[in-house]
Structure 1
């Protein structure tokens, strides 16, 4: 991604670093005209044509055929100067097998729709496979996208499998099972290592199933070998020719999940058969956790998807093959200098962790503990739930309101723990897979995000099913979140995050801006924020031009008072008609924060002036000095709460930055102190409160620190 002058704004680097468990190493990047690139003597060699892709990665040779696909690929391992086949050469297991509710089978076994090289570097290469699941009579149900990542001279590959419900003829598709089949050479596995237990497939098929978040069973034939709460996320199977280990990130957290190992291969239960499991019915527990598992079958709404991240590793013995499992399951992270993103201007100014941020940092750690405790208390696990938070208006899944991935990743970048990164990562994948509609009977809705609702996507239950429930599907740009997706994609190179976020924003920047006009501050503010975030991430002027359309309408409608007054609706004004003219403070805050990002990118003086005028309007109309907080709206009968300050302060603090107005400085400091001293919500949804503050407070804090220094 480049700046306007063509210089580098974002660049993705591949590197290989050997680390001990929990180890660390310092890295330095050298760049400039005098620095010579030093590629490996022989990197990954790639050959691609209409028949498929061949990779020579050194220790592994990988073949992916378009006419005869095998999962995860036809892989050969180098030993003593020769290659031996390990997966994909013959065998009875189909690459992908889906069985619907009526027992009809759809498979990927043979030809696939497309095989393409997505990335081709000397150290890392990514091949994408697209395939429809087909029945014997030619019908199709669901699609699979597989991404195989090979690494130079490493004895493992990463495999990401995404299933998508592309069947738009019905609101739901009901599935009994979905499995991936890896046929392992030489066709006779002699032992299986799962965690601390070992079994011999020759004595009967070894199977493990995790049907719930707190129960798994390991069996051989009809005999139970072991039961427990959380299953190991890996297994290693071996035979005369060596061993293969398979691992899946977030295995039990994404239940239902399963493994099955027979003499000739390994079956991975993305959706294992759970028809014999009685999932709780009725009440909050069903609606929250088991809405898609009723009757022991999987009920997927049209456009739903889910990605599972796996590792295939090879070695002479099971213990050797399993060595990469831990770093795959808990991957090491690169932490750049915390101020790099601000110093280079790729992100807005935010406050890094330092002695000056101690009080806020303590609040963040409290928020992290509350968020994680809430996940356990609400059992926020399961294939369609993991990564999200529950309890919006008591009954809805949050669908990442206020951009949970962005908030947690931002905290990691400013010096927080790797746990912040992980929580944001889990949230990002849920957002891109479940909360985004990938297919719809109305093509204009495909690519948009759902807002907080029952079952994340609505449609599972009738209206008024639970108090506060949003039962039917609803999509809105005021409940769309892309900044976290783009930022994770930039930092990791994850193509799915990038392509889905880009598709969403192309919809907004396209027909949705035709005949655009101002409606209210929130309905303009969030789309403007999304467009500027997309422009900052991609450098595409399409998004900046779209933002300019919104800004022009916003400036046209700003009144001489500095506000965007309107006759307030019930809920914003608590008086009988005639209701007050005015606005909701949080809506003005959303808009001014978005205008701030636009002003940072363009330097448009009119926009800077508009932000300052809006800040003075907010203070005159809603500020209560004695409370150190704003009214909820312009209505004098609306409540006053310092917890709302986080939604108002980013634009207000920026107004002080560009104007240096002493009155603004005083109120920014008072409002910040009051907000920070206000405890997190003591009632659900905790995720909403945490996300709302994490996404804005680091930016506010940077101006607060400057404002304090200006008064010294």
Structure 2
């Protein structure tokens, strides 16, 4: 079958030619629309050939008026047309219903006041017209000044770290602490308006005496025309020694000038949900009646002291509160404290469960609010305000709270545990956090007047749900964006049953995240791997059965679930997982750079360091939907570093003896993981060198007698040269089963690669791979000869999408029947249950009420759901009319 026919059958290029009239694409806010003017960035896909380079766009409002957008090319089709476009615009309460359309030349609306970016050897000056920001190029003050219309709102914005040489808790050997600040090494303007500007700052944390310089950081600052706030994305990379470098505190600090008298100064903290804790630093509620009590509580101006005294109101003897802090040391509890001065005790004010992560310090003429996204989910975190009785307050946002135990990144045990017993593969020097990273998102809100509590509640909500414009699942499905997935369909009893199971699976994991409290600075976003019904607990402490670390494509399950439904709650879950798995589960520097860690009690604890965890295919969804530059960095790192990582760490070093080739690799998950990296770089850059890397391997496999099955043993090992990208069969008689090539993103990569590469050898080989996996022996022998004595894999539910794909391409009904026979009840999947009905556990058998599916595993859940979503697209028209499960 011709490759262009296969491409069209894959439905990834559904438009035959560029339409004479471009139909506007409707957009909507993923959460709620902004309450004030704010910036937004998002990505949009296009069918091949529809959008050319240099195409301009505009946003249409519901009333027919247009507003400008900034756009840039994110990915290209092989013919040079645009595959993904990144957009930036500003939105407000009036921009509820929007649509995106092409414009021609003069019809494009101009930006009224474009961002101004001025750069010299010492600094970058950003003027959004609503805000003026100075960014230093050297030193330890990232943001020396924030100004609004000539009024300085904040100064001395810098990163800070408290480092100690031992963990907390040893009374006989108290740790020695040292304060480090973020020292700038490089500043780059990555994007320069007219609507959006992005500035990247690289640096390292350094001690004032020069004794320490470690912990590289990357900060991106996002500015939008006419917008007063700043979005900061902060990435910390750990390059210390986990035995002696313990982070006690990690934060961002600003100085806030105070111009008004004491009674007109205020502190605010975000509390539970949209609640705000609000107090003046000198409450006027004393023994005598005070006419200004209510106005002061609302942040309204109170007469100065000299005027108050003339009216008989005494201020000088009332307590003045200088310092404040909100501490969130667990996912379920925060406390607020304040004190009058450093020589006095802290006063407990109030506590709550989950704080929204915002703090404000200022007076009636303005101040600064800062907010940390996923504040309580990423505990231990804290907010701190000092010096409110001075002329310069200090506001600190702690991404790691200094009021908790120091960060301890040592491995959980000093002895290794056997792979065959605990599924753990610990090796000397491999259970290291050296090179892992963590990204945090912060919003900065300067004010030139006292904000209302509602203003600050809106700020906290925006910080926790980054504004995002999205199009409909129907549009994404029509253009074939991001793979092969189905829209929800309940038109038959069988399809309705599958949709119900998909909904139950998502609901169960959302509840488990909260009930089991899978939260914390290094954990948030991940889920557990396997369940232990005997303890009514997940196997959080059992070797390789603990944290999931992308095992069997959990990330893709969540992203496919979002793509097909458009649900904001699923997006938030998938976003958190992508942030975690692309940072914590990967190595960003050192000898393991470009590789990731397999599942373990510690995310980085397992000795298996492979491409399957670092592959770009797992990150593409978030990157293309949001335009997130940090995720783009990570995908690029994987493309350029994974090959050298394989030279350092042979993925089959414990299975196969060293051969004459530099290292080993399997068709999957190694080669397909590398191909996903190269495919992504090829489409992002248009540089055919990445395509050629793919073709080297394709050409090698095409010459081998067993195609993609030309590997040794169950794991189908082969020789690999990372310098040339050639794959080598170790023995001409080798034939392997390749199960991991499907389970760990290989199928989802192939869905996207097939129409892009449009290569007859790849198409033939991949169709052969899918048709023979789990097929009867006579079919394998018909393809490879009578010498083959074993079937290639087991016909289980986890692999049902392989024959379904063959049916989609060939329309041979036997493959549709094979797919549904493998998938539907009566054929148990390799892992776990096909049903997601849970029971509630209460009473003395559990620590608190919990939900339980006794034989659940995330491997089984992710694979069952992915197969369901894909089968409905590939072979939904051939689903059986009846199955006993549908009557239950």
Is the 1:46–1:54 contact (alpha carbons within 8 Å) kept by the matching residues of 2? yes
Structure with more relative contact order (C-alpha pairs < 8 Å, separation 6 or more): 2
Report what 1:55 is aligned to: 126
Out of 690, 697, 712, the position equivalent to 1:550 is 697
Kindly tell me: are residues 616 and 378 of structure 1, through their superposed partners in 2, closer, same or farther at Cα, counting changes over 3 Å? same
1:646-674: CA deviation from partner (whole Å, max 9, x where unpaired):
3x133322212222223213222333444
Aligned residues: 646
Report what 1:38 is aligned to: 109
Q: Distance between the aligned counterparts of 1:497 and 1:556, measured in 2? A: 36
Report what 1:185 is aligned to: 257
Kindly tell me: are residues 684 and 313 of structure 1, through their superposed partners in 2, closer, same or farther at Cα, counting changes over 3 Å? farther
3-state SS of 1:414 partner:
helix
Is the 2:438–2:583 contact (alpha carbons within 8 Å) kept by the matching residues of 1? yes
Is the 2:529–2:547 contact (alpha carbons within 8 Å) kept by the matching residues of 1? yes
Out of 575, 586, 590, the position equivalent to 2:739 is 586
Kindly tell me: are residues 4 and 70 of structure 1, through their superposed partners in 2, closer, same or farther at Cα, counting changes over 3 Å? same
Report what 1:383 is aligned to: 521
Is the 2:770–2:805 contact (alpha carbons within 8 Å) kept by the matching residues of 1? no
Out of 487, 499, 505, the position equivalent to 2:639 is 505
Report what 1:656 is aligned to: 807
3-state SS of 2:597 partner:
coil
Q: Where does 1:57-456 land on structure 2 (aligned, <5 Å)?
A: 57-70=128-141, 72-78=143-149, 83-88=150-155, 95-101=159-165, 102-108=175-181, 112-138=184-210, 139-167=212-240, 173-186=245-258, 190-194=265-269, 195=271, 196-201=276-281, 202-221=320-339, 222-262=346-386, 263=388, 264-274=393-403, 301-315=433-447, 316-319=449-452, 320=455, 322-356=457-491, 358-392=496-530, 394=539, 395=542, 396-440=546-590, 442=591, 445-456=592-603
Q: CA deviation at 1:253?
A: 0.6
Q: Which moved more, 1:373-382 or 1:43-52?
A: 373-382
Q: Where does 1:541-620 land on structure 2 (aligned, <5 Å)?
A: 541-559=688-706, 564=710, 567-568=713-714, 583-584=736-737, 586-587=739-740, 589-590=742-743, 597-620=752-775
Q: Distance between the aligned counterparts of 2:835 and 2:181, measured in 1? A: 53
Is the 2:381–2:399 contact (alpha carbons within 8 Å) kept by the matching residues of 1? yes
Q: Which moved more, 1:303-312 or 1:664-673?
A: 664-673
- Tell which structure's C-alpha radius of gyration is larger: 2
Q: CA deviation at 1:595?
A: 5.0
Kindly tell me: are residues 404 and 662 of structure 1, through their superposed partners in 2, closer, same or farther at Cα, counting changes over 3 Å? closer
Q: Distance between the aligned counterparts of 1:191 and 1:424, measured in 2? A: 37
Higher helix share: 1
Q: CA deviation at 1:267?
A: 1.1
Q: Distance between the aligned counterparts of 2:792 and 2:866, measured in 1? A: 29
3-state SS of 1:427 partner:
helix
Q: Distance between the aligned counterparts of 2:398 and 2:645, measured in 1? A: 41
Kindly tell me: are residues 71 and 229 of structure 1, through their superposed partners in 2, closer, same or farther at Cα, counting changes over 3 Å? farther
Report what 2:819 is aligned to: 668
Out of 80, 94, 100, the position equivalent to 1:6 is 80
**Which TM-score applies when normalising by structure 1?**
0.81
Q: Distance between the aligned counterparts of 2:865 and 2:369, measured in 1? A: 39
1:266-311: CA deviation from partner (whole Å, max 9, x where unpaired):
01112222357999x9999xx9xxxxxxxxxxx9932232222111
Q: Which moved more, 1:319-328 or 1:431-440?
A: 319-328
Kindly tell me: are residues 147 and 597 of structure 1, through their superposed partners in 2, closer, same or farther at Cα, counting changes over 3 Å? closer
Is the 1:236–1:322 contact (alpha carbons within 8 Å) kept by the matching residues of 2? no
Out of 872, 878, 887, the position equivalent to 1:701 is 872
Q: Which moved more, 1:525-534 or 1:262-271?
A: 525-534
Is the 1:314–1:321 contact (alpha carbons within 8 Å) kept by the matching residues of 2? no
Q: CA deviation at 1:525?
A: 4.0
Is the 1:384–1:434 contact (alpha carbons within 8 Å) kept by the matching residues of 2? yes
Kindly tell me: are residues 113 and 650 of structure 1, through their superposed partners in 2, closer, same or farther at Cα, counting changes over 3 Å? same
Q: CA deviation at 1:485?
A: 1.6
